[in-house]
Chains A and B, each alone.
Chain A
């Protein structure tokens, strides 16, 4: 078979893969299109899994990119339950678990990741849950009954959002974090502090710098034991200690990998006609930048879209201002651009105890910003910050710190 006339194939039917498939059709690609995923559901967005789905305010249809009827209308062949076993980049083909081979013209790897497992917890324990997929979220929802004693291992976004939701559902929550502060890998100190204060005020027993010694229980975890001997009795353990990118398929095929599948500015891997996007994709924000992965909604959305354009022959580099958010209780945080470990260059107080942190370069141009506020109240300012980052002009520190100066005015001055 001549691979030039072969289908476009996307491996990974999550947000990035799904967005790529929909974009290919929206851009007019009318050839055969195959979307291969592990899950039986149509592609969906993951942020509601730790919030709205657990609380029952949104269901799968509410956060799916489209439903199966729409996939069929668009003639996107969704293969589930027959995962890819191996890639053969030289022959432009891949082998499925059932042994059949599929030739592709071009291939997108959007294989995402899986929850990092806590090796000290035996896998057979019935009440240890992880959260990455819709089905895992449903299992968690069924366990979050009022009065349930929950121990959360990991003070990153999954752990924190589950803690907030579990409190709203009436659970007792203890949250264990190995590091000295919450979400310390990605958040500035000040946001870690307000999160700690918020969770404690909402009744979460947050423990920092914690080392787990062992768990007690045979079929289920009955208590988590800390190294200082303290026992934390529990009905349920949720582990949120990060994601492991699914790079094995690419690595076994000789495609260059680091912490993810490495791509160039056009999202091309080291193998011909194979692209990567989403959580698994390791890319540079700038030509001289470090390789990094971005496990965010925005990255899945924009990279999936961009990869589709380049699968169709586009040559544009992937250039994006990164960003993410988290919602906990009635509060929201949003981050845009690149923030450093250094202190923010300027701080603006906003309504109702919120704030904005600005990170500027030596020429006083905005590189990144963080916002904290009630609900989505900080979103407007963060969007304006994104535009200030995109059109870098030197900014007045006094104006940034002054809540009386609209950011829109700085954008247009």
Chain B
């Protein structure tokens, strides 16, 4: 089990205070850029009904699911109340030479 760094996109491809969907292998991720340009990543699907979170709204450090308004703090993955009760898995992210990289365990 080692961490493998995967290239997601250029820094400029994610707007500030926004999120994109990133698919890799059999998995889908949500990659966030905060208002002060920090980057984060979580599992891509809501833990409530497997909706792609990247269609949701980012306000400050919270992602709100597009369908049922389940809310998570995307920095920690913490579920912030009904209807979501299971936290999101989070992944390390770093920026290198203008690229956003995501660590997955292989």
- Tell whether A pairs with B: yes
Interface residues of A (CB under 8 A from B): 19, 22-23, 26, 45, 48, 58, 62-63, 65, 297-298, 301, 305, 325, 375-377, 379-380, 383-384, 387, 408
At the interface with chain A, which of B3-11, B45-53, B72-80, B93-101? B45-53
Decide if the interface of chain A is mainly helix, strand, loop or mixed.
Answer: helix
B23 to chain A, nearest CB (A): 14
Q: Residues of B contacting A26 with CB < 8 Å?
A: 82
Q: Are B51 and A376 in contact (CB under 8 A)?
A: yes
Q: Are B82 and A19 in contact (CB under 8 A)?
A: yes
For the complex, what is the distance from the CA of A336 to the CA of B83, rounded to whole Å?
Answer: 19
Q: Residues of B contacting A301 with CB < 8 Å?
A: 68, 82-83
* Interface status of B103 (Cβ within 8 A of chain A): no
Chain A proximity mask over B48-76: 1 for CB below 8 Å, otherwise 0: 01111001110100001011110000000
Q: Are A379 and B67 in contact (CB under 8 A)?
A: yes
For the complex, what is the distance from the CA of A104 to the CA of B48, rounded to whole Å?
Answer: 32
Q: Residues of B contacting A379 with CB < 8 Å?
A: 55-57, 66-67
Q: Are B57 and A384 in contact (CB under 8 A)?
A: yes
A-B contact count (CB 8 A): 45
**Assuming A62-B50, A63-B49, A297-B68, is B55 touching A380 (CB within 8 A)?**
yes
For the complex, what is the distance from the CA of A153 to the CA of B11, rounded to whole Å?
Answer: 51
B53 to chain A, nearest CB (A): 10
A304 to chain B, nearest CB (A): 9
For the complex, what is the distance from the CA of A233 to the CA of B66, rounded to whole Å?
Answer: 40
For the complex, what is the distance from the CA of A325 to the CA of B55, rounded to whole Å?
Answer: 14
B51 to chain A, nearest CB (A): 7
Q: Are A383 and B67 in contact (CB under 8 A)?
A: no
Q: Residues of A contacting B66 with CB < 8 Å?
A: 376, 379-380, 383
Given contacts A58-B49, A376-B67, A380-B55, 18 further A-B contacts (CB under 8 A): A19-B82, A23-B82, A45-B49, A58-B50, A62-B49, A62-B50, A63-B49, A298-B69, A301-B68, A301-B83, A375-B55, A376-B52, A377-B55, A379-B56, A380-B57, A380-B66, A383-B57, A387-B59
Q: Residues of A contacting B56 with CB < 8 Å?
A: 376, 379-380, 383
For the complex, what is the distance from the CA of A48 to the CA of B66, rounded to whole Å?
Answer: 15
Q: Residues of B contacting A58 with CB < 8 Å?
A: 49-50
For the complex, what is the distance from the CA of A380 to the CA of B69, rounded to whole Å?
Answer: 11
| Shortest Cβ distance from B64 into A: residue | A383
For the complex, what is the distance from the CA of A297 to the CA of B49, rounded to whole Å?
Answer: 13
Q: Residues of B contacting A408 with CB < 8 Å?
A: 17
Q: Residues of A contacting B55 with CB < 8 Å?
A: 375-377, 379-380
**Assuming A297-B68, A376-B52, is B57 touching A22 (CB within 8 A)?**
no
For the complex, what is the distance from the CA of A383 to the CA of B55, rounded to whole Å?
Answer: 11
24 A-B contacts, Cβ less than 8 Å apart?
A19-B83, A22-B82, A23-B82, A26-B82, A58-B49, A62-B49, A63-B49, A65-B83, A297-B68, A301-B83, A325-B67, A375-B55, A376-B52, A376-B55, A376-B66, A376-B67, A379-B55, A379-B67, A380-B56, A380-B57, A383-B56, A383-B57, A383-B66, A383-B69
